[in-house]
Amino acid sequence: MIDQVTEQLASIQLKDEDVAAYIAGIVEDDTIADDEKHEVIAEFLAETTDENTDKVIENILKGWKEQQNNTEKKRAEEKAKALEEIQERERVRQEQSAKEMEANSELRRTNMSKQLSREEKAQRERLMQQYGYEGRENESGEQKDNNKSSKGGNDTTDKIKEQEQKRREQLKKQSEAEKERNKILLEKQRSNNEKDKEKRRTAKKEKRRM
């Protein structure tokens, strides 16, 4: 600010660093109103020069106001930029979190499928041992009773099929529930991303208005 004051004082042939420093101190004092600043500076300069100082004082005060506005504008831009950086980091974090959740869900589905397969096999073996049933699977994967004439064998086959059907239905329900949870998570993620975009647009609009 002192450089601007020095330049304005030079226009009325007044070159004094102490005078410039004193006036700059008055101008930068936020506790003094502009009209009061003008009056104080005018009285002070009247003691040092016979030149008309009104225009000089107006230019000094105008320059100070422009400097303040530029400073505020720069601060607002820096704040908006910092906010955008924070929002971008949060968006990346949420996307990464969503990917990790999806990967974990896929891993759980895979492990669940393997676990159910082992349980189905163990259940089938227990039923075979319990009912003394020996069978084999044909090419289509269906159970084939070696003793079709045995009513007990047919009952055992029905029970095995019933158990397998229940297992498949359970696996299907669990898979559908997992897909629904993932769908909800993805919708929530999209909603958060839209909110982030709206915040960035609002911040840009505010910056343009400034």
Predicted structure pTM score: 0.40
C-alpha–C-alpha distance, residues 71 and 1, integer Å: 13
H helix intervals, the chain: 2-10, 17-27, 34-46, 54-131, 151-209
**How do the domains of the chain map onto residue ranges?**
2-73, 98-209
Distances (CA, A) of 160 to 48, 114, 131: 112, 19, 11
Structure confidence at residue 206 (pLDDT):
66
The ranges of the chain with pLDDT < 70 are: 115-117, 119-121, 124, 128, 130-156, 203-210
Distances (CA, A) of 58 to 14, 111, 150, 171: 16, 79, 114, 82
What pLDDT score does 107 carry?
A: 81
Residue reference for tokens 């936020």: 30
Q: Which of 156, 176, 182, 165 is nearest to 116 (CA)?
A: 165
Which pLDDT value is given to residue 109? 78
Give per-residue pLDDT as tens, 8-55. 888 888 888 888 898 889 888 888 898 898 999 899 888 888 888 889
